[in-house]
Amino acid sequence: MPDKISFLFLGDVIGRPGRKALKKYLRSFVEKYSPSLVIANGENAAGGIGITEEIGRELLNHVDVLTSGNHIWDKREAESYLDREPRLIRPANYPPKNPGNGTYIFESEEGKKVGVLNLQGRVFMDPIDCPFRVADEEIKRLKEATSVVIVDFHAEATSEKQAMGWYLDGKVSAVVGTHTHVTTADERILPQGTAFITDVGMVGGFDSVIGIRSELAIKRFLTGRPQRLEPAKAGLLFSALFVEVDEESGRALSIKREIIKEEESG
Ligand SMILES: [Fe+2]
Ligand SMILES: [Fe+2]
């Protein structure tokens, strides 16, 4: 039996309902799988946009690493929090000299190391630096510390996300897509041993438009005007991915998608 490292990856946590769903359901999956580490995307954890230090601390009581994405900059205090909290990372391909880091090396109590890299896509998103080229540089650096590297690719377009999966096949242990808040059913282990899913989904209000109150989202489309968007409170959705990795080679051994849908009356 090879030595394994395993992780649970939670999709974007949306506001208070997301934090509630995380606290309600994470424990049962930790008991089921005993993962070496838990990662969650925290870019929407504060009121649906951004993250604050208070909420980051709250989440880091339950998870080991927080990744993020385009919404990381929505709460101004996140800029200084990013510089103080290495376990909170932001996409590595923002131009140089931005606050925070795009990578974190997790170390378990037994001394096992796992590199986590956050990247962001450029299709239908802000045109930041090339995520593919930045991936090459950052992975080379992380691999000096460990053979197990997990990538959160925060992107809109399924094509860009699948291309990243294939581009990094055999170079990292997993490429996990985030940002759309909708789980895709394409999880697999690519031929060279990289676990991949286009989007892991979200942790938030179930009766919603990607975690936001549906009436507000509809109003935005009907009027064409920006609307104040609030996290949906009705029902809970908990979406996660569990992956096992061979510690020595860094190849993925298994991938399993987990979803709990709790309707309001449930
Ligand atoms: Fe998000
Ligand atoms: Fe996003």
Q: Distance (Å, rounded) from C-alpha 201 to C-alpha 197? A: 10
Strand 236-246 relative to strand 4-10, pairing: antiparallel
For residue 154, what are the domain limits?
4-262
Q: Which residues, in sequence order, are bridge partners of residue 149?
A: 115
Active centre residues (catalytic): 71
Q: Which residues touch 176 (CB under 8 Å, ≥6 apart)?
A: 9, 150, 151, 152, 153, 195, 196, 197, 200, 241
For 42-91, write each residue's pLDDT tens digit: 999 999 999 999 999 999 999 999 999 999 999 999 999 999 999 999 99
For 187-234, write each residue's pLDDT tens digit: 999 999 999 999 999 999 999 999 999 999 999 999 999 888 899 999
For 102-161, write each residue's pLDDT tens digit: 999 999 988 999 999 999 999 999 999 999 999 999 999 999 999 999 999 999 999 999
**CATH (domain of 213):** 3.60.21.10
Here the tokens at position 255 are: 């991938």
Q: Distance (Å, rounded) from C-alpha 63 to C-alpha 74? A: 22
Distance 26 CA to ligand 1 centre (A): 19
Pick the ligand that lies closest to the CA of residue 48.
1
The predicted structure's pLDDT at residue 264 = 84
Pick the ligand that lies closest to the CA of residue 70.
2
Here the tokens at position 77 are: 């205090």
Distance 180 CA to ligand 1 centre (A): 6
Here the tokens at position 183 are: 């789980």
Q: Are 132 and 90 in contact (CB under 8 A)?
A: no
The predicted structure's pLDDT at residue 1 = 64
Distance 71 CA to ligand 1 centre (A): 7
Q: Distance (Å, rounded) from C-alpha 159 to C-alpha 139? A: 21
Pick the ligand that lies closest to the CA of residue 18.
1
Instruction: Quickly tell me which residue has 């399993």 as its tokens.
Output: 256
Q: Distance (Å, rounded) from C-alpha 88 to C-alpha 206? A: 26
Q: Distance (Å, rounded) from C-alpha 175 to C-alpha 64? A: 18
Here the tokens at position 30 are: 């930790």
Distance 156 CA to ligand 1 centre (A): 10
Task: Report residue 109 CA to chain centroid gap.
Answer: 23
Pick the ligand that lies closest to the CA of residue 49.
1
pTM of the predicted model over 0.95 = yes
**Number of structural domains found in the chain:** 1
Distance 48 CA to ligand 2 centre (A): 10
Distance 55 CA to ligand 2 centre (A): 17
* Whether the predicted pLDDT of 265 surpasses 70: no
